[in-house]
Amino acid sequence: MRNKLIYFIFLTIAFTSMIQSCQNETSINFKRYYVNGKGLYEKNCQNCHGSDGKGLGTLYPPLTDSSYLNLKRNKLACIIRNGQTGTVRVNNIAYDGIMPGNQTLADIDIAQVIVYITNSFGNKQDFYDSEFAKNDLVKCK
Amino acid sequence: MKKVVLVAIASLIFQSCVNTSERKLPILGEREPVEKTVDGKLLIDTIYQTVPAFSYFNQDSIPVTNKDFDNKIYVTDFFFTSCNTICPIMHRNMLNVYTKFKGNPKVKFLSHTIDIKYDLPSKLKSYVSKLGIEGNQWEFVHGSRDSIFGIAAKSYLVSAFEDSADPQGLVHQGWFILVDTKKQLRGAYDGTKEDQVNQLMKDMELLLKEEFDNEE
């Protein structure tokens, strides 16, 4: 009986720690992406979009429109890499400037920037790893 | 003993007060001493560098000259509308300064484009309205290549030039230059740094006091 109890406790501990380590790996990955994404954002995006993601007047659109980001989730990677022209509506305001592309950013860099943007400035969206970015980037027009 | 300490503290406070109210902005740039004779006595006066006459077209295609800045203090910088490096940061900061002094008839702003080919007044107008600026307290001006690059280097001491090695072909510094009513340079602030822009706002208050307080 006593042996059984010890065995049971051991098993429970082993099992929960296994689950927890799995969870931790995702959250560690998320944090890694987020932190790296912040650095990349500061270098490549912040000049125009601002440290608070609010953009500038109607020259540069804000990144605070969660529904826009959600709607364009699978297009964000292409927009970051190739830039964008034409009119976009963000928070129901029209912006018609030219966004330059970032050809030097690798797939994983772009994924990290996306994780940072979609989880800052009041946004809260799911994890987006480099595999997602790779798949989305193949479909760029 | 107590009294001595008290007096010491009081005088310290007094002195610190005197110092702040007497703080005056320096005059920047070249200077040369000139000798002149007044009432038979030889006096030495200093002549400071001033901004010469200029004439440009603003965002409304209206000529803007140095006369529009007479009896005013102004802040000036160099930028171009398609610049995506330091210009957005500069004008995000300048917008804060503008908002603070908006409607003050003694204060003006002057932004020169260095993209002579592309930033024609119509282009500037669209930039200005997107920035949310109305009226002419903040002038965005277009001029000839020589006049803009010349006045940048010689008069405002800001480096700006065309460079084919740069991805955008244009290189310039992000200084905000503060000019007084005598067209003398009174301060230079890095327009990309928030703390320096805050200092600019403080110094503008100081300069306004120096220039206009005796008037009334």
User: Scanning every residue of chain B, which has its alpha carbon at the shortest distance from the alpha carbon of A49?
Assistant: B88
Which domains occur in chain B, in start order? Answer: 52-212 (3.40.30.10)
A57/B132 Cβ within 8 A: yes
The closest alpha carbon to B54, from B142, B135, B159, B121, belongs to B142
pLDDT exceeds 60 at position B16: no
Q: Hey, which residues 80-99 in chain B have their CB within 8 Å of chain A?
A: 82, 84-86, 88-89, 91-92, 95
pLDDT the model gives residue B161: 83
Q: Hey, which residues 96-125 in chain B have their CB within 8 Å of chain A?
A: none
Give B210 to chain A, closest Cα distance, Å. 34
ipTM, two decimals: 0.74
Q: What is the per-residue pLDDT across B45-77, written as a single tens digit (0 to 9) for each? A: 888 999 999 999 999 999 999 999 999 999 999
pLDDT the model gives residue A22: 65
Which domains occur in chain A, in start order? Answer: 2-138 (1.10.760.10)
Q: What is the per-residue pLDDT across B122-159, written as a single tens digit (0 to 9) for each? A: 999 999 999 999 999 999 999 999 999 999 989 999 88
B130/A97 Cβ within 8 A: yes
Convert A58-97 into a string of H (helix), E (strand) and C (coil).
CCECCCCCHHHHHHCCCCHHHHHHHCECCCEEECCEEECC
User: Scanning every residue of chain B, which has its alpha carbon at the shortest distance from the alpha carbon of A100?
Assistant: B84
User: Scanning every residue of chain B, which has its alpha carbon at the shortest distance from the alpha carbon of A93?
Assistant: B130
* Interval A27-44 mean pLDDT: 93
pLDDT exceeds 90 at position A3: no
The closest alpha carbon to B111, from B155, B134, B143, B85, belongs to B143
